[in-house]
Chain A
Amino acid sequence: MTTPSKTPQTISRTTDLSEMEYKWGFVTDVDAEIAPKGLSEDTVRFISAKKNEPEWLLEWRLKAYRHWLTLQESDAEPKWAKVEYPPIDYQDMYYYSAPKSPEDGPKSMDEVDPELLEAFDKLGVPLHEREKLAGVAVDAVFDSVSVATTFADKLEELGIIFCSFNEAVQNHPELVKKYLGSVVPYTDNFFATLNSAVFSDGSFAYVPPGVKCPIELMTYFRINTEGSGQFERTLIIADKDAYVSYLEGCTAPIRRTSQLHAAVVELVALDDAEIKYSTVQNWFPGTKDGVGGVYNFVTKRGRADRNSKISWTQVETGSAITWKYPSVILRGDNSVGEFYSVALTNNHQQADTGTKMIHIGKNTKSTIVSKGISAGQGQNTYRGQVKIMPGAENSTNHTQCDSLLIGDRCGAHTVPYIEVQNPTAQLEHEASTSKVSDDQLFYLMQRGISEEEAHHMIITGWSRDVIRELPFEFAMEASQLLKVSLEGAVG
């Protein structure tokens, strides 16, 4: 582990920085690995300076920060979700921490800190193996800072840009400037605003016109430093007639205190483009007694232009709290939005997740398939919105959300919002909630399959519509994850 230690040195530096508040100047201590505790304009300046960001980006962060202050004053932290957690003290957190690394960060695998690689191995991230075996380019995010990028050369040949967000800011500022905040503006919501002010790093991908990205782009996120917020910012742009499939997988080591994670993901699909975004989220869910675990407040949204398609697939098994609504703005005619989700809550986990499909263009089409599994004392809510704007002639939506309950102390909730302003639209929404069928269980068990294994088989089959949307290696992992996450929930 390379957790930045809270040495007396760090503490005194923190104190110095805190005391510097409201003075005329801001001095960047480039060696500091951790931002002063708490959130202020100086924290924002510190982060921006650490990353050597251009002035316009600092200004953008500061605008977001000032807006966030007004949101905090007006108590605009969203409270409508069916999740309960103690009030978050935004001043009692670190907003930036960097792993120990050579001055400019490693450029190749050889330069990566062996300790980091070891940590990845423990998490089952066979970075160097995957590079060869699966043909996957990995952009590893370790506590917000990209440490290794592979396959870059191959992608470069095709003109595809796949790098950390910071690198994109340095090397492709025109693209970042053009699209950053264009789908999720910094005023969007409390957590997105917070992210806009203090985002640390994330992934950036750009696929030029007419190019089909030949490999699946993958990023591993990981939360590490105790008490540090993680604020990834991801921006993916598929230019006209381009295609990209992006995979995001997450794990986190056990920590006792809850950790805040507020990411923003923006997808831009220009005319005729397609983006497929898949997630397996397996962050620390807290202990069996509900201690600790990650608070995951994520804003994910895609903009779909004419004839384009955006597809979100997610398998959510981790986090103490999941608050996440990957959305598609179907603004171009004939655009398509899809959302496939399996969300599992066990023990004391709470998930309030779903999607938004906003139909603006004509002949737009959306599909929603959501599967919620509740076990233990988990609370699982599907919350989704389908909105047909007045000009969205001949649009269609089909929504199916099913919930499965395992045990008598959990909860499963379905809250769809369907708003239709055009008579030519066709909408169908259906949902069901039940427990695992006794008949199915009996059938399997009388053939010698244990109760737990039978449950797993039934749940895997029940989730199939979603799992099969995942790329193959993810599908395997996701199925395994469901099994592991449900351990102890049956019998």
Chain B
Amino acid sequence: MTTTAPPSTIASYERDFLKHEDRADWLSELQRQAWTEFEKLGFPTTRRGNELWKYTDLRRLDSQAFNLSEAASMAASGELSKIAPWSDDWHSAVVIDGRFSPDLSRNVESAGVSISDFASTADSLRQKIEPVLGSLATVEDNAFVALNTALFQSGLLVEIGDDAELDQPVHILNIVSDGPDHRAIYPRTLLIAGSNSKAVVIESFVNLSSGPQLTVPVFEASLGAGAELQHFRVQLENEQSLHLGTTRSEQPAGAVFNSTTFATGPAIGRNDVHTNLAEEGAETTLHGLYITNGQSHQDNEISTTHHKPHGTSHQFYKGILAGKSRAVFSGKVLVQPGAMKTVAEQKDLNLLLSHGAEIDTKPSLEIYADDVKCAHGATAGHVDTSMLFYLMSRGIDRQDAAKMLVTGFATEIIDEFEPEPLREFLYEKLDQIVPKLDSEGIL
């Protein structure tokens, strides 16, 4: 990674790193190493040759420092259902400004599942965390994983027992509180799913402030053999903030990791997902919907590596772009030598609603095994005029028809958000977002 940053802002992150002295002994070595790596890397640049950041310009991080957010509190849990997807039945862990809030959380200890922050974790669990933490979300060559690892406050451990099948989803609700501008928040989640366990995990991000904030989350999922994990990621940001998120997972034999994303809002958003199909017969499905408007920029960096035979992967992303916004889809499927009978699909479909919006899509395949079936596709275009005509010829006015088509385009992904309260929440969001899209009057 080609990187530089003026020392002024880096120094401010260093102060945060040094200030944060109360970290547990067993974490200090990992966090120190992460800091060293970040210092070496600095923030990524779009300079030539830096393929991973080709389309996303982070120069504003060089001129504006974001300082570690102070601990904040929220009054009542009753508020939560208004601002975020919520069900009282869910196993909900509430994290405010990167710090676990036990008071607002619910059902964190029940049969088959345990959610706790790293600090309160018993020695026995600590022994489970240590070998895994940072092993999937590695700090090497990744400035934001390094920064998160160096500066996270209360890391969250979600442990799902062997053979456990959870009836209710686990929900990790990350809230950026309403407070001063230019705060940095580093949510960190480690999920350990036991062998043959089955669970749904929702990770949602809500920003209550209207000013510029920086959120750098890392979600790391370690699955046991035969485990099935459905991950939903909901990124609702304000239009001034930066959200640079990382999701990492590795699957042993027969394990399934599916992750579906809904992303909207930020000045600069990055959804960096990588899954490793480490053993035979592993499977992964990475889906997502991004909606950008105004000056928003959403970058999706989605990659899967097939190491062993009989793996299956699906990448399917859809984008709706309006205003002067820009979105990036950079998908990658790497099939290593010997990973025979791999089946991989990759698709990115985009709806461009205005002059001034830009989509940069790069679905790439890198294949070193011959007995494979891999395919990819990408499209970009406006609302289909023949579809508009079809609806209008049935008496639907133009705007309603366009709205139906745009909403319909999103539906394919939103319908995947299985838990009903979550899906309903997203449809409400969509209803609020779509009419506001700057679409040159078609909506």
Residue of A nearest to B347 (CB): A430
Instruction: List chain A residues, Cβ under 8 A from B382.
Output: 423-426
Are the C-beta atoms of A405 and B378 separated by less than 8 Å? no
Total residues of chain B contacting the partner, CB 8 A: 38
- Choose from A418, A432, A433 the contact partner of B361 (Cβ within 8 Å): A418
Instruction: List chain B residues, Cβ under 8 A from A424.
Output: 382
Give the segment of A208-216, A317-325, A409-417 that binds chain B: A409-417
A420-B352 in contact given A405-B372, A426-B381 (Cβ < 8 Å) = yes
Instruction: List chain B residues, Cβ under 8 A from A79.
Output: 49
Query: Can you list the 5 inter-chain pairs with the closest CB atoms, starting with the nearest?
Result: A405-B370, A423-B352, A433-B374, A432-B375, A429-B378
Could you pull out 27 A-B pairs where Cβ atoms are within 8 angstroms?
Answer: A80-B51, A403-B365, A408-B370, A409-B337, A413-B364, A413-B365, A413-B366, A414-B364, A414-B376, A418-B359, A420-B359, A421-B358, A423-B357, A425-B382, A426-B379, A426-B380, A426-B381, A426-B382, A427-B379, A427-B381, A431-B365, A431-B375, A432-B374, A433-B365, A433-B373, A433-B375, A434-B372
- Choose from B355, B366, B372 the contact partner of A422 (Cβ within 8 Å): B355
Instruction: List chain B residues, Cβ under 8 A from A425.
Output: 352, 380-382
The digit string for B362-398, where 1 denotes a CB below 8 A from any CB of A, is 1111111111111111111110000000000000000
Are the C-beta atoms of A431 and B377 separated by less than 8 Å? yes
Instruction: List chain B residues, Cβ under 8 A from A416.
Output: 362-364, 378
Are the C-beta atoms of A430 and B350 separated by less than 8 Å? no
* Cα distance A415–B361 in the bound complex, in angstroms: 10
The digit string for B398-442, where 1 denotes a CB below 8 A from any CB of A, is 000000000000000000000000000000000000000000100
Is A181 positioned at the interface, with any CB of B under 8 Å from its CB?
no
A415-B362 in contact given A423-B353, A425-B381, A431-B376 (Cβ < 8 Å) = yes
Instruction: List chain A residues, Cβ under 8 A from B381.
Output: 423, 425-427
Query: What total of A-B pairs shows CB separation below 8 Å?
Result: 118
Is B293 positioned at the interface, with any CB of A under 8 Å from its CB?
no
Instruction: List chain A residues, Cβ under 8 A from B367.
Output: 403, 405, 411-413, 433
Is A256 positioned at the interface, with any CB of B under 8 Å from its CB?
no
* Cα distance A388–B359 in the bound complex, in angstroms: 10
Instruction: List chain B residues, Cβ under 8 A from A407.
Output: 370
Residue of A nearest to B329 (CB): A418
Is A315 positioned at the interface, with any CB of B under 8 Å from its CB?
no
* Cα distance A484–B356 in the bound complex, in angstroms: 50
Are the C-beta atoms of A420 and B358 separated by less than 8 Å? yes
Residue of B nearest to A419 (CB): B360
Instruction: List chain A residues, Cβ under 8 A from B360.
Output: 417-420
* Cα distance A411–B336 in the bound complex, in angstroms: 9
* Cα distance A406–B370 in the bound complex, in angstroms: 6
Residue of B nearest to A390 (CB): B355
Which A residues, 357 to 401, have Cβ-Cβ distances below 8 Å to chain B?
A: 388, 390
Residue of B nearest to A438 (CB): B371
Q: Nearest Cβ distance between residue A417 and chain B, in whole angstroms?
A: 5
Q: Nearest Cβ distance between residue A344 and chain B, in whole angstroms?
A: 15
Residue of A nearest to B350 (CB): A420
Is A435 positioned at the interface, with any CB of B under 8 Å from its CB?
yes
Instruction: List chain A residues, Cβ under 8 A from B369.
Output: 405, 408
Instruction: List chain B residues, Cβ under 8 A from A411.
Output: 366-368
Is B7 positioned at the interface, with any CB of A under 8 Å from its CB?
no
Is A428 positioned at the interface, with any CB of B under 8 Å from its CB?
yes
Which B residues, 284 to 321, have Cβ-Cβ distances below 8 Å to chain A?
A: none
* Cα distance A423–B326 in the bound complex, in angstroms: 12
Q: Nearest Cβ distance between residue B426 and chain A, in whole angstroms?
A: 25
* Cα distance A395–B371 in the bound complex, in angstroms: 37
Is B31 positioned at the interface, with any CB of A under 8 Å from its CB?
no
A435-B379 in contact given A417-B360, A417-B362, A420-B359 (Cβ < 8 Å) = no
Instruction: List chain A residues, Cβ under 8 A from B376.
Output: 414, 429-432
* Cα distance A425–B350 in the bound complex, in angstroms: 11
Are the C-beta atoms of A435 and B372 separated by less than 8 Å? yes
Q: Nearest Cβ distance between residue B125 and chain A, in whole angstroms?
A: 43
Instruction: List chain B residues, Cβ under 8 A from A409.
Output: 337
The digit string for A83-95, where 1 denotes a CB below 8 A from any CB of B, is 0000000000000
Is B354 positioned at the interface, with any CB of A under 8 Å from its CB?
yes
Instruction: List chain A residues, Cβ under 8 A from B371.
Output: 408, 435
Are the C-beta atoms of A80 and B49 separated by less than 8 Å? yes
17 more contacts with CB within 8 A, not counting A405-B370, A420-B352, A420-B359, are: A80-B51, A390-B356, A403-B365, A408-B340, A411-B366, A418-B359, A418-B360, A418-B362, A419-B359, A423-B352, A426-B379, A429-B377, A429-B378, A430-B376, A432-B374, A432-B375, A433-B375
* Cα distance A253–B375 in the bound complex, in angstroms: 38
Instruction: List chain A residues, Cβ under 8 A from B337.
Output: 408-409
* Cα distance A422–B440 in the bound complex, in angstroms: 13
Is B179 positioned at the interface, with any CB of A under 8 Å from its CB?
no
Are the C-beta atoms of A430 and B365 separated by less than 8 Å? no
Residue of A nearest to B346 (CB): A431
* Cα distance A414–B363 in the bound complex, in angstroms: 8
Is B102 positioned at the interface, with any CB of A under 8 Å from its CB?
no
Q: Nearest Cβ distance between residue A170 and chain B, in whole angstroms?
A: 39
* Cα distance A100–B361 in the bound complex, in angstroms: 53
Instruction: List chain B residues, Cβ under 8 A from A426.
Output: 379-382
* Cα distance A406–B362 in the bound complex, in angstroms: 26
Is B338 positioned at the interface, with any CB of A under 8 Å from its CB?
yes
* Cα distance A114–B263 in the bound complex, in angstroms: 71
Residue of A nearest to B330 (CB): A417
Are the C-beta atoms of A434 and B363 separated by less than 8 Å? no
Residue of A nearest to B369 (CB): A408
Are the C-beta atoms of A428 and B379 separated by less than 8 Å? yes
Are the C-beta atoms of A418 and B366 separated by less than 8 Å? no
Instruction: List chain A residues, Cβ under 8 A from B363.
Output: 414, 416, 429, 431
A433-B372 in contact given A390-B356, A405-B367, A408-B338 (Cβ < 8 Å) = yes
Instruction: List chain B residues, Cβ under 8 A from A420.
Output: 350, 352, 358-361, 380
Residue of A nearest to B439 (CB): A423
Instruction: List chain A residues, Cβ under 8 A from B375.
Output: 430-433
Q: Nearest Cβ distance between residue B387 and chain A, in whole angstroms?
A: 13
Which A residues, 44 to 84, have Cβ-Cβ distances below 8 Å to chain B?
A: 79-80
The digit string for A452-486, where 1 denotes a CB below 8 A from any CB of B, is 00000000000000000000000000000000000
Instruction: List chain B residues, Cβ under 8 A from A390.
Output: 355-356
* Cα distance A403–B380 in the bound complex, in angstroms: 23
Residue of A nearest to B370 (CB): A405
Instruction: List chain A residues, Cβ under 8 A from B372.
Output: 405, 433-435
Instruction: List chain A residues, Cβ under 8 A from B373.
Output: 432-434
Residue of A nearest to B360 (CB): A419
Are the C-beta atoms of A414 and B365 separated by less than 8 Å? yes
The digit string for B251-265, where 1 denotes a CB below 8 A from any CB of A, is 000000000000000
A429-B379 in contact given A420-B359, A435-B371, A435-B372 (Cβ < 8 Å) = yes
Are the C-beta atoms of B379 and A423 separated by less than 8 Å? no
Instruction: List chain A residues, Cβ under 8 A from B49.
Output: 79-80
* Cα distance A434–B49 in the bound complex, in angstroms: 30
Instruction: List chain B residues, Cβ under 8 A from A413.
Output: 364-367
Instruction: List chain B residues, Cβ under 8 A from A80.
Output: 49, 51
Q: Nearest Cβ distance between residue A392 and chain B, in whole angstroms?
A: 11
* Cα distance A300–B362 in the bound complex, in angstroms: 23
Residue of A nearest to B322 (CB): A423
The digit string for A305-331, where 1 denotes a CB below 8 A from any CB of B, is 000000000000000000000000000
Instruction: List chain B residues, Cβ under 8 A from A432.
Output: 373-376
* Cα distance A412–B364 in the bound complex, in angstroms: 11
* Cα distance A429–B375 in the bound complex, in angstroms: 11
Q: Nearest Cβ distance between residue B320 and chain A, in whole angstroms?
A: 11
* Cα distance A465–B382 in the bound complex, in angstroms: 29
* Cα distance A405–B354 in the bound complex, in angstroms: 41
Instruction: List chain A residues, Cβ under 8 A from B362.
Output: 415-418
* Cα distance A408–B366 in the bound complex, in angstroms: 14
Q: Nearest Cβ distance between residue A353 and chain B, in whole angstroms?
A: 15
Q: Nearest Cβ distance between residue A49 and chain B, in whole angstroms?
A: 36
* Cα distance A430–B363 in the bound complex, in angstroms: 10
* Cα distance A411–B368 in the bound complex, in angstroms: 4
* Cα distance A276–B397 in the bound complex, in angstroms: 47
* Cα distance A424–B357 in the bound complex, in angstroms: 11
